[in-house]
């Protein structure tokens, strides 16, 4: 699939991005992909390319751009190596909800400006911390998000005043959340709280669990599960097919 590399100017600097599109002239609905804690790497670009093949223009931003030229993580050892785990968690913690919201505005402006992209409302989806980011963006940029998906996302329901579930009454998107079984970052109790918040806000949504571990959708994660990954691609195709035009 074709792809282009570019730089998006945000309120905090310059963010490298890649835009993946189907073959042909388009235009296609735009989708913003949020990576997991490991950041942008070959696996994530390949996943964006796969979704582009379904008929979407998929933007992948480097959410860690404020760290400059950071060294990539090897997800096979990132959590077992104490030094790398500390570095990874530090980078995850450095991305705040306010940063996410302001960056998303710049990413949507970029999609708006591209001839390959049609429409002015977009899809967002992500994995792990990217799943949390997607739900946050749906609440913080409601007029620009038509559909949002989170896969094995953590921190969707917390005691923090910035918890994504507290944004439910601002959302205008269709929301899909797929949790991993036995994941302390998103438990059955969290799912119930999120479901109730979305229902009370009259948000079209689905919250469910896959019988797989955290990281099930991402091929370079040790818990990758092909059956669960295939299920997640089918869910994305249904969600975006129904919500984006």
Residue 175, SS3 per DSSP? strand
Residue 169, SS3 per DSSP? helix
Chain segment 134-191, per-residue pLDDT in tens: 999 999 999 999 999 999 999 999 999 999 999 999 999 999 999 999 999 999 999 9
Chain segment 192-240, per-residue pLDDT in tens: 999 999 999 999 999 999 999 999 999 999 999 999 999 999 999 999 9
Q: How many helices (H) and strands (E) does the chain have?
A: 6, 8
Q: Which domain holds residue 194?
A: 3-243
CA distance 110 to 144: 12
CA R_g for the chain: 16
Provide the number of structural domains found in the chain: 1
Distance of CA 224 to the CA centre of its chain: 17
The DSSP code sequence of 116-167 is TEEEEEEEEEEETHHHHHHHHHHHHSGGGEEEEEEES---SS-SSTT-GGGG
Q: What is the CATH number of the domain that holds 207?
A: 3.40.50.1820
CA distance 244 to 225: 28
Q: Does the global pTM surpass 0.75?
A: yes
């Amino acid at each position: 699939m074709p792809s282009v590399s570019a730089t998006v100017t945000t309120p905090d600097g310059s963010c490298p991005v890649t835009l993946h599109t189907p073959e042909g002239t388009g235009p296609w609905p735009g989708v913003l992909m949020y990576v997991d804690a490991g950041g942008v790497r070959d696996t994530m670009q390949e996943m964006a390319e796969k979704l582009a093949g379904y008929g979407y223009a998929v933007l992948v931003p480097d959410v860690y751009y404020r760290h400059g030229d950071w060294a990539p993580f090897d997800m096979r050892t990132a959590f077992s190596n104490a030094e790398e785990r500390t570095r990874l968690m530090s980078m995850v913690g450095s991305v705040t909800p306010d940063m996410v919201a302001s960056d998303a505005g710049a990413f949507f402006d970029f999609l708006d400006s591209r001839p390959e992209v049609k429409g002015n409302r977009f899809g967002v989806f992500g994995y792990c911390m990217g799943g949390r980011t997607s739900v946050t963006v749906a609440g913080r940029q409601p007029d620009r998000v038509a559909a949002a998906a989170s896969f094995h996302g953590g921190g969707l329901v917390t005691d923090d005043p910035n918890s994504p579930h507290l944004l439910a009454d601002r959302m205008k998107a269709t929301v899909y959340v797929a949790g991993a079984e036995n994941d302390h970052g998103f438990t059955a109790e969290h799912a119930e709280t999120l479901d109730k918040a979305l229902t009370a806000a009259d948000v079209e949504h689905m919250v469910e669990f896959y019988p797989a571990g955290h990281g099930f959708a991402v091929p370079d994660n040790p818990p990758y599960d092909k059956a669960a990954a295939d299920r997640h691609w089918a869910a994305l195709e249904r969600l975006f097919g129904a919500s984006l035009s």
